[in-house]
Amino acid sequence: MRSLQREPGLLLALLAVIVLVCVFILYPQIRVIITPGTGYIDFLSGGTWIRSTSQSIQVMVLSTTTAVLLGFVFAYAMVYTDMPWKPFFRLIGILPLLSPPFVVAASYLILFGPRGLITYGIFGQTISVFGLGGIWGVQTIAFFPFAYQLIADVLSRSDARLEQAARNLGAGPWQVFRSVTLPLSRPGLGAAILTTAIYVLEDFGNPALIGGTFTVLPTQAYGLISGFGDLPGATAVSTLLLALALILYVAKIRLDGGRSFITVSGRASSMPRPPVPVVLTWACFVACLLLAVVILTVYGTLLVSALTLNFPNNLSFTTKHFEYITSDVNGTALQNTLIFGVVAAAFSAVFALVAGWLVERGSWPGRRVLDFLLIMPAAIPGLFFGIGYATAFNEAWLDWLDRGVLIIISMIFWNIPVGYQAAVAGLRQIDRTMDEAATSLGASSLRGFRDVLIPMLGGSISVGFVTTFVRAVTTLSVVIFLFTSGTTVATIRIFQLVNDLNWGRATAFTVADIGMAILALGGIALLSRGRIALGAARA
């Protein structure tokens, strides 16, 4: 507190952060929640929410269960066994994080849809693939890599020394896992499951493409606005969605203290883990191989479709889909995607860094509140966030504001938790005596931050930047209520083209979009000379 009085620069920075958080995180949410007003009564008595809510929960439970199970197998195999081809599997696990989750649905439709390669092309069937079963399968494939990243993170933090100690005391591999590893990582695993559940609950793209009449909360909210222009109804549904996500999120916070980052001592990880039985290793290898085949089929289908005239009926090579997506409004969309992503990621990284520093290193009252507000967007469904911006900033007096700028701002603040948590985790690894050393040599807090902490935080800043970029270029739900024809982006165009069943163009767009994410991640990994593990891109 006194340090704030003594350093006006610090006070200004803090006030700026508070104002921005209130305007761009808190205010839009409040606007959505109050928009229905008395409409809540109509909405609740209308009863349509009961079906979509129960279906949302149903599909969330199913998809989360299977995604977590597959993710766990993958994570266990990667962390505990010395199976071959690990670098390959690591890449397989990252690929889905670099793409919009709903492209899995697109690939699924190409393969299993009414005119799908496998269903119709091979078996001559036109079975219905829409509805619960389809969503379940697609979300399992789309989200198991997320579950894998989260669980692998938890498992790799379990202290190898404790496991060695248990082996030394006479426990077998299975006993070690059951009596040491699992109990110690239970909170982390619980948090990983809840986080996966939030991803599934918020998923808009997949249910929108293959849900058919099976409505979940995000698709209901979208349908109410796009079909009926019913803003009160849509905001009420969104509020319900937010409430569910917040319940999961609060439970997650109780398990992992609000962040999945814990400072790890380098020593713990440098110790080899006790070996697992050979049979288990090979069983894991086969399981991972099968999952890799599925993932490669999903993305391979997209790639082949993008490069052929009319997949799967005409497999002649063509570049016309790519010519299409780089021309006119589509070229603009790609350009927008890149610009919005870069600008949002840069601002988000800088803002998150300053905010993380103020909260982590500060000692002023109310920092817990600011901390909560900064990690809260992680619990806000993208669709809710988008509706929030559309509601809050769709005002006549804001007409001068470019829609592109609004999209960028929404991407900045929706992604704040990513950069913020990376910054906080980075700062926690830097001992406070570093700040104090700078201070005792004559540096003010801000000066020490600039000269000492920022250079040491290089890794965290890059992680925040690249993750935000990837999330910005792969989000559909945040921008779906914000885009205009001049400010459309790749994910929107993919969604539109899939709905038009224009597979070649849709998949070409997808390939370009994923390509951007891969280039960003690869570029940063190169720049940091391998100091950032590729897996650091987890959302």
Partner 1 sequence: MPSPSALQSLDAGAVHLRLAHVTKRFGDTAAVDDISFDVPRGSFATLLGPSGCGKTTTLRMIAGFYDPDAGDIVLGGRRINELPAHRRGTAMVFQDYALFPHMTVRGNVSYGLRLAKVAKDELARRVNETLDFVGLGKLGDRWPNQLSGGQQQRVAVARALVLRPEILLLDEPLSNLDAKLRVQLRWELRTLQQQLKMTFVYVTHDQDEALSLSDWIAVMNAGKVEQHGAPWEIYYRPKTAFLADFVGAVNLVPGTVREVRGGQATVQFGERSVTVPVPADTSLREGGEVKLCVRPEALGLAPRGATTDGAALPGTVARKAFLGDLMRYWVTIDGREWIVDQPDPGASTPLDGEVLVQVRPERVHVIAG
User: Under the rule (CB under 8 A), what is the footprint of partner 1?
Assistant: 2-3, 6-7, 431, 433-434, 436-444, 447-448, 451-452, 455-456
**Residue 87 or 365 with smaller CB distance to partner 1:** 365
CB of 449 to partner 1, least distance (A): 12
**Residue 359 or 457 with smaller CB distance to partner 1:** 457
CB of 363 to partner 1, least distance (A): 10
**Residue 10 or 237 with smaller CB distance to partner 1:** 10
8 A C-beta contact, residue 76 and residue 174: no
8 A C-beta contact, residue 508 and residue 322: yes
What is each CA distance from 425 to 152, 170, 380, 418, in whole angstroms?
18, 36, 21, 11
**Residue 212 or 458 with smaller CB distance to partner 1:** 458
**Residue 8 or 486 with smaller CB distance to partner 1:** 8
CB of 441 to partner 1, least distance (A): 4
**Residue 281 or 439 with smaller CB distance to partner 1:** 439
Spatial CB neighbours of 328, under 8 Å, sequence gap ≥ 6: none
CA atoms of 18 and 382, how far apart (whole Å): 22
CB of 202 to partner 1, least distance (A): 39
For residue 317, the cross-strand partners are 308
**Residue 181 or 445 with smaller CB distance to partner 1:** 445
Please state the φ and ψ torsions of residue 500, each to the nearest 5 degrees.
-85, 0
3-class secondary-structure state, position 327: coil
CB of 539 to partner 1, least distance (A): 29
Q: What are the respective helix, strand and coil percentages of the chain, to the nearest 5?
A: 80, 0, 20
Spatial CB neighbours of 411, under 8 Å, sequence gap ≥ 6: 340, 341, 344, 348, 468, 471, 472, 475, 478, 479
**Residue 7 or 159 with smaller CB distance to partner 1:** 7
CB of 528 to partner 1, least distance (A): 14
Spatial CB neighbours of 495, under 8 Å, sequence gap ≥ 6: 102, 205, 208, 209, 476, 480
CA atoms of 514 and 537, how far apart (whole Å): 14
Task: For 14-33, give one letter per residue: b (16+ CB within 10 A) or e.
Answer: beebbebbeebbeebbebbb
CB of 430 to partner 1, least distance (A): 10
* Closest by Cα among 532, 450, 309, 485 to 9: 450
Spatial CB neighbours of 380, under 8 Å, sequence gap ≥ 6: 29, 242, 245, 388, 414
Cα torsion 188, 193, 198, 200: sign: positive
CB of 431 to partner 1, least distance (A): 7
CB of 55 to partner 1, least distance (A): 50
**Residue 3 or 394 with smaller CB distance to partner 1:** 3
